[in-house]
Amino acid sequence: MTSKPIYRHDQPVNKPPRWPLYALAGVLLVALGAGYCSRHHGQNALNTSRTVSPMVTATPAGGAGQVLGIDGVTNFTAAQAQALSKQNYGAVAPVITTGITKVTFHYRSIDLNGAPITVYGRAYFPNNDNNNLPIFAFAPGTTGVGPQCAASLENVATASWGNYDSHMVTYASQGYAAVTTDYEGMRDPGHLHHYMVGPLEGRAVLDSIRALGQLSQSKGRLDQSSVFVAGYSQGGHAAFWADTINASYAPDIKLSGVIGYGPVLSVEETMNDVTRGSILNWFGPYVLVSYADYYHQNYNPDAILQPRFAATLTADVTSHCVDTAYSFWGHDPSKVYTPPYLSAIQNGTLGQLYPELLHDLQQNATGTEATTTAKLINQGHYDNVVLPAQAQAALPSMCRASKGPVTLKLYPSATHFNTMVVSLNDTLAWMKQVTDGDKITSTCPAS
């Protein structure tokens, strides 16, 4: 494999600055916005007596979060929304009594070099009289790295990457203004999606919230005092990074809570877990291509991957979306990775053989942010993608750092793929508790 990546990051070619310098750049891009009027809270048992804060509509310096165009508007009847919800939630889908409006749009975000980029998003609103809707900003799980793998391009009739329409309609039907985003580089043939670069993921989530406030369907309906960021798998990584950079990059947004469904909290551990039963053999190749391109590193993939996968690494990664990645890279790590690499991650000696790779993996870890938000991790006991041990290992440090309550809920029968479904009612109840100002039960270990 050549050390020169097929795709380049933005000009210039110097390495992006290491965190926490990201935050310093972010401060320069942000300006406080003005708000608009707020009204009574929505239905579905959400508190109606609180004093609410208006949603910010002005975009920050640099135009981060500016809506650049509307790509389509779809109106679902209540029956259509119910059928769509049942595609993921089946018999446990909540009863939907209102139609849902879906708006697809593209908006501006800012990369870590300060250059504007275009990202695609989708917003979902309940068609009723509910005003001051709490916000549920959702980051999807891995769909792929190539531009054709963007979550907004998902067609469940040909390949289901998570059926995020079903999830978002379900949350919108419960009284939320729901918005979900693609990530940097997606739908852009000239750029690579820089997979698992936490600050970039977090910016996309925060800027999607800014964009949500500019849509005509949101005018006078959004409650800035009740804003949740959530994400599944990769999206959990994005949600926790949005929380990490919130104060520096988007102080105009006050987050109430963060939710991770089987979240990636440690990129390093997720890569290493292929030796502990995880079926994510494709995760390492995705990260190697992404980080080599973003950090301008040659991690010597010939020393990490078996010849079959090293030879065409970038082409393979950019051509396989998540629906074909599992079968392409298979479930046997010894057929994907070299013995020295597997030995290094098993013995904890990765830093001796691959110091730059270890550094870049570790700087994208999350779970140690000193923020005031309430935090919820929903984890399946039978998750063989992002192993339960990852969340359990991250809990103590997250608890030490967090100024808000931290809750880890383990679902004894859940896998990675149904954690969002089985945790729906608990998640809705938890968000209501946070919104109402109720005491949240923390699962932090006794100090």
Instruction: Give me the mean pLDDT over the 384-406 stretch.
Output: 96
Element holding 247 (H helix, E strand): helix 234-249
What's the rounded mean pLDDT across residues 110-119?
A: 94
Q: What is the pLDDT of residue 3?
A: 32
Confidence band (pLDDT; 50, 70, 90) for 298?
Answer: very high
- Mean pLDDT, the chain, rounded, equals 88
Lowest pLDDT segment from 14-18, 220-224, 396-400, 436-440: 14-18
Distance CA 278, CA 260 (A): 18
Question: H or E element: which one contains 78?
Answer: helix 78-89
Model pLDDT, residue 61 = 54
Mean pLDDT of all residues in 322-349: 97
Strand partners, 54: 223
Q: Which residue in this structure is represented by tokens 């975009």?
A: 59
Whether 23 shows a pLDDT value over 90: the answer reads no
- Tokens standing for residue 12: 């210039």
Count CB-CB contacts under 10 A for residue 8.
Answer: 14
pLDDT grade for 367, boundaries at 50, 70 and 90: confident
pLDDT at 16: 40
Examine the pLDDT at 327 and tell me if it is beyond 70: yes
Take residue 185 and report the two structure tokens written for it.
């580089």
Confidence band of 447 (pLDDT split at 50, 70, 90): low
**32 pLDDT higher than 70:** no
**pTM of this prediction?**
0.87
Helix (H) or strand (E) holding 124: strand 116-126
Residue 331 in this model has a pLDDT that exceeds 90: yes
Q: Dig out the tokens for 287 from the structure.
A: 């990260």
The upper half-sphere exposure of residue 49, i.e. CA atoms within 13 Å in the direction of its Cβ, equals: 2
What letter represents residue 198's amino acid?
G
Which domains, from first to last, does the chain contain? Answer: 21-267+370-436 (3.40.50.1820), 268-362 (1.10.260.160)
C-alpha distances out from residue 216 to 58, 77, 102, 207, 213, Å = 14, 19, 12, 17, 8
| Alpha carbon distance 266, 336 (integer Å) | 21
Residue 343 has pLDDT above 50, yes or no: yes
Q: How confident is the model at residue 407 (pLDDT cuts 50, 70, 90)?
A: very high
Measured over the CA atoms of residue 157, residue 160, residue 161 and residue 163, the dihedral's sign is positive
Tell me the pLDDT tens digit for each residue of 53-87. 333 334 465 799 999 999 999 999 999 999 999 99
Whether residue 445 has a cis bond before it, omega within 30° of 0: no
Query: For 75, which DSSP code?
Result: E
- Nearest alpha carbon to residue 367 among 377, 357, 378: 377
pLDDT of residue 60: 61
Residue 408: strand pairing partners: 377
Residue found by looking up tokens 């005491």 in the block: 439
What is the distance between the alpha carbons of residues 15 and 294, in angstroms, rounded to a whole number?
8
Residue 189 has a pLDDT of 87
Across residues 338-343, what is the average pLDDT? Answer: 98
Q: Which residue in 373, 59, 119 sits closest to 229, CA to CA?
A: 373
Closest residue by Cα to residue 184 from 117, 138, 251, 249: 117
Q: What is the pLDDT of residue 369?
A: 77
What angle separates helix 355-362 from helix 283-294, to the nearest 10 degrees? 90
Give pLDDT, residue 444: 94
Mean pLDDT calculated for residue range 225-231: 98
**pLDDT over 90, % of the chain:** 83
CA-CA-CA-CA dihedral for 138, 242, 363, 321, to nearest 10: 20
Residue type, 96: I
Say if residue 18's pLDDT is above 50: no
Please say if the pLDDT value at position 39 is more than 80: no
**Greater pLDDT, 413 or 130:** 413
> How far apart, in whole angstroms, are the C-alpha atoms of residue 295 and residue 356?
10
